[in-house]
Amino acid sequence: MQHFEVATVVAAPPDQVFAVCLDVESHTRSMADSSERAVGGKTRGELALGDTVTFQARHLGLTWRLKARITSYDRPRCFVDEQESGPFKQWRHAHHFEPDGTGGTIMRDVIDFSSPLGPVGRIIDRLLLRRYMSHIIRIRNAYLAGTFD
């Protein structure tokens, strides 16, 4: 299992950042470079506990689909999405939102994932996907933070 965290400072209060991070259209706009779009489940608006969404995107030259469910929801502190079906053996993304003391938010993404294919998948995770996925999360967070400028 691979694990990484990304922290991003956002110039908006936690409740607003929480809402933007759960908004399907904001997510797809943040991932425009990979042609990501919502193709199943809740495809518009703000996700809530128990909701699913299926995203289709192109990464590393391949088109894939990932169906995620919101499995934990504690507004405005944290929510978790987990893969129900898709390219990973396991995918869990916890989103944490803490006040930064100046009216903004420290947004912390905590991601645990593993690929299928046993030992080969573990090598791919370590050598390629961990770095690639953390890069994608940073791009997404920069876009979302920019919506508050």
Share of the chain above pLDDT 70, in %: 100
Q: Which pair of tokens denotes residue 33?
A: 């470079």
Per residue in 1-12, pLDDT (tens digit) is 999 999 999 999
Per residue in 57-112, pLDDT (tens digit) is 999 889 999 999 999 999 999 999 999 999 999 999 999 999 999 999 999 999 99
Task: Look at residue 119 in the predicted model and tell me its pLDDT.
Answer: 92
Residue 149 pLDDT more than 90?
A: no
Mean pLDDT of 131-139: 96
Mean pLDDT of 22-34: 94
In the chain, how many domains are there? 1
Q: Which domain holds residue 82?
A: 2-146
- Burial grade of 120 (CB within 10 A; 0-12, 13-18, 19 or more): exposed
| CATH number for the domain that contains residue 88 | 3.30.530.20
pTM score, two decimals?
0.94
DSSP letters spanning 34-71: GT-EEEEE--SSB--TT-EEEEEEEETTEEEEEEEEEE
Residue 143 pLDDT more than 90?
A: yes
Task: Look at residue 111 in the predicted model and tell me its pLDDT.
Answer: 98
